[in-house]
């Protein structure tokens, strides 16, 4: 009986060990131009655990995202990271976005950003390098809705920019 168990383990164990759980590293950023408000409205969805780990490494601080009892410094470091990793160029000129706020939904953090004072868009370029410094297989999906034209891009470390011309 022991011999049969050992034989089964000898054949089954290598098969089980070769099956690994693959984690996907992805964020989704939606960008919409609201012409009536002269505003670019941006929502970035990022997995909280990936973001926490990245910010902890980057800033060497013990940062924990939590809807309750969150330290004020979490938002400071989050804003600094977003401004460093997301860049926007409109009509050939870099623009700054404003951090509006954040919201939690289970294991995902929604970050709300906005660029105001945009009257007309002839070219729009976005670079999104979120979490590339932590995960080589990170993919950042960017969905653009500008001047009634919808486009989606998958940005990776090798190609982290998307551009639309009108």
Model confidence pLDDT, tens digit, residues 5-42 = 444 444 544 444 444 444 779 999 999 999 999 999 99
User: What token pair was written down for 112?
Assistant: 């709300």
Please report the pLDDT score of residue 69 as a whole number: 80
Q: How confident is the model at residue 156 (pLDDT cuts 50, 70, 90)?
A: very high
Asked whether residue 5 is domain-assigned, the answer is no
User: Is 117 among the domain residues?
Assistant: yes
Q: How many CB atoms lie within 10 A of CB 54?
A: 21
The per-residue pLDDT for 2 is 55
Instruction: Please give the residue range of the domain that contains residue 45.
Output: 22-165
Structure tokens at 81: 């990271």
Residue 13 counted as domain residue: no
Res 123 pLDDT > 90: yes
Beta strands in the chain, from DSSP E residues, in sequence order: 26-34, 39-47, 86-90, 93-95, 98-105, 108-116, 123-128, 139-146, 149-155, 161-165
Tally the domains of the chain. Answer: 1
Interatomic CA distance for residues 116 and 107, integer angstroms: 30
Indicate if the pLDDT at residue 72 is higher than 80: yes
Q: What is the reported pLDDT for 63?
A: 85
Over residues 114-124, the mean pLDDT reads 97
pLDDT value at 128 more than 80: yes
What is the pTM (predicted TM-score) of this model?
A: 0.83
Average pLDDT taken over every residue of the chain: 87
On whether residue 14 sits in a domain, the answer given is no
Please compute the mean of the pLDDT values over residues 70-86 and round it to a whole number: 93
Is 63 within the bounds of a domain?
yes
How far apart (Å, rounded) are the C-alpha atoms in residues 8 and 139? 40
> Is 98 part of a structural domain of the chain?
yes
């Amino acid at each position: 009986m022991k011999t049969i168990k050992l034989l089964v383990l000898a054949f089954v164990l290598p098969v089980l060990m070769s099956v690994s759980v693959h984690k996907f590293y992805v964020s989704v950023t939606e960008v919409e131009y609201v012409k009536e408000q002269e505003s670019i409205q941006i929502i970035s969805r990022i997995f909280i655990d990936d973001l926490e780990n990245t910010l902890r490494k980057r800033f060497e601080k013990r940062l924990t995202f939590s809807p309750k009892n969150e330290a004020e410094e979490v938002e400071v470091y989050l804003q600094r990271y977003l401004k460093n990793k997301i860049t926007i160029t409109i009509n050939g000129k870099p623009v700054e976005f404003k951090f509006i706020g954040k919201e939690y939904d289970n294991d995902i953090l929604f970050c709300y950003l906005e660029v105001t004072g945009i009257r007309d868009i002839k070219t729009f370029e976005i670079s999104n390098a979120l979490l590339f410094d932590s995960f080589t297989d990170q993919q950042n999906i960017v969905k653009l809705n500008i001047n009634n034209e919808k486009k989606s891009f998958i940005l990776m470390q090798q190609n982290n920019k998307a551009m639309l011309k009108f």
